[in-house]
């Protein structure tokens, strides 16, 4: 059974977006963007996600700038945010988490682990998780 949760996935690598879209399409409403600005524009139209999955290294607006933008916004600051990155730098992870990301995953990632992390965040925000919805 599909939940009514909406994920925004933002990455400039089409393959990553395809993996997220394919894995989660039966579980969530998945919206994919290859530019953070497109996701922000959609959010400004009132189309808000329950969780955002965002790449760190992107052209135009970096993942770091995107996290700062979302956390500085009165409207979007409470939306949970998971950052994906090929970097394994502990310092970078610490910086991103301190800026307000809820979680950080290193690419390549296991979609099952990403789902577990999404469920963990949903539990903390008091929303039913996929396990609860799917019994």
Tens-digit pLDDT profile for the chain (135 aa)? Answer: 667 899 999 999 999 999 999 999 999 999 999 999 999 999 999 999 999 999 999 888 999 999 999 999 999 999 999 999 998 899 999 999 999 999 999 999 999 999 999 999 988 888 776 665 554
Dihedral pair phi/psi, residue 29, rounded to 5°: -85, 120
Residue 135 has a pLDDT of 47
Residue 37 has a pLDDT of 95
Examine residue 90 and say whether the peptide bond preceding it is cis (omega within 30 degrees of 0).
Answer: no
**DSSP-assigned states of every residue in 57-112:** S-SSS-HHHHHHHHHH-TTTTTS-EEEEES---HHHHHHHHHHT-SEEEESS--HH
Residue 66 has a pLDDT of 96
> Which domains, and CATH codes, for the chain?
6-134 (3.40.50.2300)
Return d(Cα 8, Cα 45) in angstroms, integer.
14
Residue 132 has a pLDDT of 57
């Amino acid at each position: 059974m599909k939940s009514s949760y909406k994920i925004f996935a933002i990455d400039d690598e089409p393959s990553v977006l395809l993996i997220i879209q394919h894995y989660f399409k039966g579980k969530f409403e998945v919206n994919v963007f290859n530019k953070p600005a497109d996701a922000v524009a959609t959010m400004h139209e009132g189309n808000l996600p329950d969780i955002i999955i965002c790449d760190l290294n992107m052209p135009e607006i970096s993942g770091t700038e995107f996290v700062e933008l979302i956390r500085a916004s009165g409207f979007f600051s409470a939306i949970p945010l998971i950052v994906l990155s090929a970097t394994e730098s502990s310092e970078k992870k610490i910086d991103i988490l301190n800026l307000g990301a809820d979680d950080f995953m290193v690419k390549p990632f296991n979609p099952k682990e990403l789902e577990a992390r999404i469920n963990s965040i949903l539990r903390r925000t008091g929303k039913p998780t996929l396990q609860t919805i799917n019994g």
